[in-house]
Amino acid sequence: MKINRISLRQLSLPLSTPFTTSFATLTCKPFSIVELHTDGLVGYGECAAIGVPLYNEESAATAHYVIENFLIPLLQKNNEFEHPDEIAQRFESIRRNRFARAAVEQAAWDLWAKSKNLSLAQALGGTKPKVEVGISIGLKPSVDQLLEEVENSLNKGFKRIKIKIKPGHDIELVRAIRSTFGDITLQVDANSAYRLEDLPLLKKLDDFGLSLIEQPLSDNDIVDHAELQKKLSTPICLDESIDSVEDARKAIELGSCRIINIKVGRVGGLTEAKKIHDYARDHGVGVWCGGMLDTGVARADCLAIASLPNFIYASDITPYTEHFSEDYLVNSPVLNPDSTIDVPTGPGLGIQIDSEKYEKFTSEINNFNLE
């Protein structure tokens, strides 16, 4: 397959309401979309990095720079590939910068699947026609506001609730939710806000029957997490600590977690995400798909990867209406009554771009001819 042209767009979508984690409050989602063009087909890939380098070392702007100045030149030198795995291998010379690499690699997967008249889920080996999903709720100014948000989410049909926590905003929040809503499926996400010396506090979370505690300790740690997991009955789920299948191997061997959150952008693309899924499956560790306030393209990628069989926990894939007032897709996914979303079945991502809205949210576009 030969790539004839690459388009690189900068876009931004305002959030309906601010989204607060332990490290930042976000009010908009700047992002890039890579388009790979060939023979009348277009493959789309979204760079899911957020606007500030606080989740990991990348931001939307730095990832865009890497795509434009390092990744596209690699494709200009060699614009042919037989399978998307080759693109992932070609980009291994670029250290880290995984969100940037994932955007281009995902576009290659979409293009390749379309050329084979396969849905992306089929191309990846997915088996599930729909994906169980939950909702992630950011930190709120008060407990009452959090409880109101949880109630609204349950009324919409979400069966799994995840809340963000940080020191000083943790036990009280969980206790209030349990007291108000009883035995709902509940998990917490600390985004690396705690340290091993916070064990006495973290151990209190064992009393609330949580399905998991996500990334309580440092973003690049697997050693302290192993020590913490020995002392907690609640499963630890690793997110930021797992950037590759090698990270997953080490964490599983050390006993650092019992569950892994796979974010396609964080791990460098669909090829690596599938490797992590397969390794975790073979070693008895379940996975789920995390979100980065994704927009339409990345959301479709998430649904495709989450159709693989070892995605056994509800994923953070929600309709755009949970975070944005508008989307740029014609056929945006909707929540089913059973707290699932249908996996797209059309060729590639199975989405249709609304060209008018797509242009509305685009602030800049650069085209690169490869012939």
Which residues fall within 8 angstroms of residue 125, CB to CB, at 6 or more apart?
274, 308
Residue type, 130: K
Confirm if 138 and 162 have CB atoms less than 8 A apart.
no
Confirm if 185 and 211 have CB atoms less than 8 A apart.
yes
- C-alpha 131/C-alpha 314 separation (Å) is 8
Question: 173-203: b or e for each residue (b if 16 or more CB lie within 10 Å)?
Answer: bbeebbeeeeebbbbbbbbbbbebebbeebe
From edge to edge, which strands make up the β-sheet containing 25-38?
Answer: 41-47, 25-38, 5-20, 362-369
Q: Looking at the DSSP assignment, which residues form a beta bridge with residue 348? A: 119
Q: Which of 166, 263, 274, 275 is catalytic?
A: 263
Q: Which of 164, 166, 274, 275 is catalytic?
A: 164
275 HSE (CA, 13 A, CB side): 16
CA-based diameter of the chain, in Å? 64
Is 130 one of the annotated active-site residues of the chain? Answer: no
Is 360 one of the annotated active-site residues of the chain? Answer: no
Instruction: Look up residue 182 and give its DSSP letter.
Output: -
Q: What amino acid positions are annotated as catalytic residues?
A: 164, 263
